Structures are given as C-alpha cells and as structure tokens.
Amino acid sequence: MVIAVFTIEALRPKHHAAKPSAVVPSPAATAGTPLKTPGFAFGFYSAGLKMVDCYGTCRPGTKQYADQQFDRQRMAQLEAMHVTFVTNNETLVKWYRQFPASVLTYLDELHAHHIRVSYSVASGAGVWFHKGHFGADRATAFFARTDLNHDGVSDLDGRLDVVYQGHEVLEWATHAQRVEIYRVAKHWFPHTPIAVYYAGIYRGFDPAMSDQTHAGGPGGVWQDYAYGPGEADIALVNVRINATPDTLDFVDDHPGPFQPANFAAAAKKTVAAVHAATPDTPIFISTNLASDPAMRLRPQAMWSPAQLSSWYHSLVALPGVAGVQLRSFGRFTYDLGNPRFTPQQQTFQQLGAAAATIKPATALP
C-alpha cells in the first residue's frame, strides 16, 4: 500500500545526556495503547510537542516535569479539537537511544488520546549523500541505533505510527534514489508506513519543466525527480493556500489572497497527478497558514474562520485524500495555537468533529 503525504516540527529542549540504555523496555512495562481512531488523519504539521528525556517519570519542580506536563496538556487540547494526526519531522534517534522507556511512554500517551504521529530516523539529505555521493551506509547506522535488541528491525517498528522519511525530497534526491531510500527504511520498519513530504510536487509532472536542468541534488533534469511508484507508503503533499492550477510549480508561500475556487482546482490537479503515478495511494495534504516569517511576526498571517472552512471542504471533497493537515499549532507566535484566535480554534474543532465521521476510501496501512 502506498500513501502520499504533503506537509512538521517541535524543538527538543537540551538536557544533560545520560548513558545509553542497554536494554529495551519490556512489553509488559510499555504496553501499547490501541488506536481507536485509525481513520481520516485530521490535524497539524507540527503541534509544539516536546521531547522530554524523563517523560513519564520526571520529578515535580524540575523544568523537565514542566515540559512533560505541557505535553500532556497539549495532547488533551488536541484531542478536544478532534486531532488524530500530528506530523513531526525531527529525529528521535538520540532520544530513543538514551531514553527508550520515555519515548514509548510518550507514544502510548499520544495513542491514549487517539493521536498518531510521525518522526524521522534517517531522513535528511546529509544522511544519504556524502561529498556528493549517494549511499546508505550512514542512514543504516542511524536506523540501527533504534534497534537496541539487535534483531535487525527497529524497536519502534509498529510503535511509531509513521516514519517521516524525507523533507522536500524533490530538491535533493531522484526518483530512483528515493526508491532505494524507501527500500532501506522498509527493512528497519517493515510494519510501519513510510511517509515522504513533497513541496511543489507537480514540477516533476509538468511537461514545461520535465527537460529542464535540475539545479540541486545530483543533477539531471526534472523528469528524473518526478514522484513515482515505490518511494513511499504515504505521500504528504504540500498545497499552498494561494495556489492556482497555473502556479503549482511555485514552492514558497508568497503573500496573496486565498481564492477558494483556485485553491480547490490546484489541489484537485495535484491529487490527480499523484494518482496517475500511484493510483491506490492515499494522500495527506498539508497547507501552511503563511510563510514562517509571517507566522512569527504578523497577526494577519491567520486565516478567517470562513477561510479555514473553505480550505477543509475543498480538500475532503477530493477522492483519495486520506488526511488534511494545517501548519501549524503552537510552533509560531501567530499560528492556530495563539489564544487570540479563539474563533478560528472553534472552527477547527468543528471541522475536526466532521472529519471524525469520514471513512477514507482507501484504508491506511
């Protein structure tokens, strides 16, 4: 099963390092909580969650305890908004290597709130390319660091909901290389969906660009980088809020009005292109509220409740879309996590309640 995802992140607080754990916590000590909402993936690309070294055992009065309680409050807040998926693109390798019980407790508590999450293990260009040469040696070492019992499979396989396996991959890896990346990742996570994030995914399909030189990555032309079979279980696809069918080759979020009809047409064209390449692939679509600088500095970055509603309804009407994500909640000053945007939060909650009734046409892996 292949799934397309289009859309990430929370910063990890720096604490003192501890010696790596020598053993994997027993299943009895970290029994997984079954997800009760495995359907439509409604939520955020980044929700301000933190990685806490002592999660589940932090001592009251410490900064780590405050961070742990913040996460728990955030989980409850997300559940109240009917959020069922949060995309995170940061790595949890070091966190799991040093504090495996904390990671598993954190994941179990998310699942108790019916929230699925993604994290990365070996996703960046720097992991797969060394001095311009593509190879899997460094990535394999990162994957192996999550295999504390040395059975050849990550301990997080089946515990982590989705592996985030690449950000804006069209910029740095060809389709053939992404197929190899997927093959390696699947060796370590045979039972966990692999998600890849695509911005400007239509560039690889656009006849006007197919023979143009690709300025990044290992070179070649844009046709070499086109999305195709065998590179992802979930396609996480970014569609800009001001996208139109004629501007799908643009990647960055530039200021511009939200025009519901243009956005809906752009999303439809994007989904059709992905389905032409992988007909049975469920798709997650992610949209940024605005550019990062705008979300940091400008209250005007926030959409109106009516725009939020139009965005949601434009996407859920498309066959094959299995999830929608907004970026972001609590990552930037002026995103949906800001208390001043209560009407927008109430609208998002209402949309989440509607999303909870959707049964995807294509089951998730």
Taking only the tens of pLDDT, the chain with its 365 residues reads 444 444 433 333 333 333 334 344 443 333 334 444 468 999 999 999 999 999 999 999 999 999 999 999 999 999 999 999 999 999 999 999 999 999 999 999 999 999 999 999 999 999 999 999 999 999 999 999 999 999 999 999 999 999 999 999 999 999 999 999 999 999 999 999 999 999 999 998 999 998 999 998 899 999 999 999 999 999 999 999 889 998 887 776 566 678 899 999 999 999 999 999 999 888 999 999 999 999 999 999 999 999 999 999 999 999 989 999 999 999 999 999 999 999 999 999 999 999 999 975 544 55
Tokens of 155: 């301990």
Q: Residue 292, exposed/middle/buried by CB under 10 A (0-12, 13-18, 19+)?
A: middle
Rounded CA gap, 153 and 168, in Å? 26
Tokens of 140: 């394999």
Closest CA to 253 of 353, 335, 312, 190: 335
CB 356 within 8 A of CB 40: yes
Identity (one letter) of the amino acid at 4? A
Q: What pairs with residue 173 in β-bridges?
A: none
- What is the set of domains in the chain, with CATH numbers? 4-355 (3.20.20.60)
Tokens of 197: 């994030």
| DSSP 8-state secondary structure symbol assigned to residue 34 | P
Rounded CA gap, 53 and 360, in Å? 36
Q: Tokens 């989980």 identify what position?
A: 75
Identity (one letter) of the amino acid at 306? A
Cis omega (within 30 of 0) for bond into 310: no
CB 30 within 8 A of CB 24: no
| DSSP 8-state secondary structure symbol assigned to residue 50 | -
Angle, CA of 304, 291 and 250, to the nearest 5°: 105
**Who contacts 196 (Cβ-Cβ below 8 Å, separation ≥6)?**
5, 165, 166, 169, 178, 182, 231, 232, 234, 235, 236
Which residue blocks in the chain are alpha helix, DSSP H?
63-80, 93-98, 100-112, 125-128, 137-144, 175-188, 260-277, 292-297, 305-316, 342-355
pLDDT, residue 347, reads: 98
CB 236 within 8 A of CB 286: yes
Tokens of 219: 């070179």
